[in-house]
Amino acid sequence: MKTPFKSILVLAALMLSGCATHKIVSKQEAFPKMYDAAPLSVLVVPAVNKSTAADAPDLYSTTIAQPLAEAGYYVLPIPLSAMLLQQEGIVDGAQLRDVSPDKFKHMFGADAVLFVTINQWDTNYFVTGGNVTVGAEFDLVSTSSGESLWNYQNVVVINTSGNSGNLIADIISTAITTATTDYVPVARMVNASVINTLPVGKYHSRHKQDGADQSVNTALSAKATQ
């Protein structure tokens, strides 16, 4: 049997309803407020979990700090931030969406707060096929102005179907591969595709030099210019 990540097909796509139009625009065109605000520090709060996997937020929290740091931002320690929020009785990101952003600035000293919504964290089977899907939406909000500076979403689907041509063998192969596929690397793929659209921060060598990068699909952002 082939190893899972040698036989997978990675599809980074958002399921769009109707015939929505989209275009690829630059970071500066899509997110001008991000360049104006130029936040230095980011607080990542517990994710809002809309999937059926109870452990999705905890697993996801292990994947987001590194790509944000590599994008040039100081990321407040996620375990410590989560512990402080738990002391206030907050364990779910949904509890924080209506909190005034300046509260996060006062409590943590963060310039921006990142809200993540996990829309999909699923295992699917169909006849002789299967896949593992992770989908998330990101919203970076200024703690000074309360405005959304950057918003993006994506879905990554890992095809775990067997392809030997033998029906029984493929059913068994699909079941094993799907069951043993780790969600964490899939979440990292989502992060990579999404953070690629984020204007880099002060601690990156291209700070305020990436505005012309054509990397933003307007269909995947509620804030991008349509």
Domains and CATH numbers, the chain: 4-220 (3.40.50.10610)
Q: Return the SS3 of 210.
A: coil
User: CA-CA distances (angstroms) from residue 154 to 46, 79, 84, 102, 192?
Assistant: 19, 25, 29, 28, 10
**Helix segments in the chain, DSSP class H:** 4-7, 27-30, 32-37, 56-60, 65-70, 78-87, 101-108, 167-180, 183-195
Would you say 216 and 31 are in contact if contact means Cβ atoms under 8 Å apart?
yes
Residue type, 133: T
How close are the terminal C-alpha atoms of the chain, in Å? 45
- Can you give the pLDDT of all 226 residues of the chain as single tens digits? 344 433 333 333 333 333 446 799 999 999 999 999 999 999 999 999 999 888 889 889 999 999 999 999 999 999 999 999 888 888 788 889 888 999 999 999 999 999 999 999 887 766 556 777 899 999 999 999 999 999 999 998 877 555 544 444 444 444 444 444 567 888 899 999 999 999 999 999 999 999 999 999 999 998 775 4
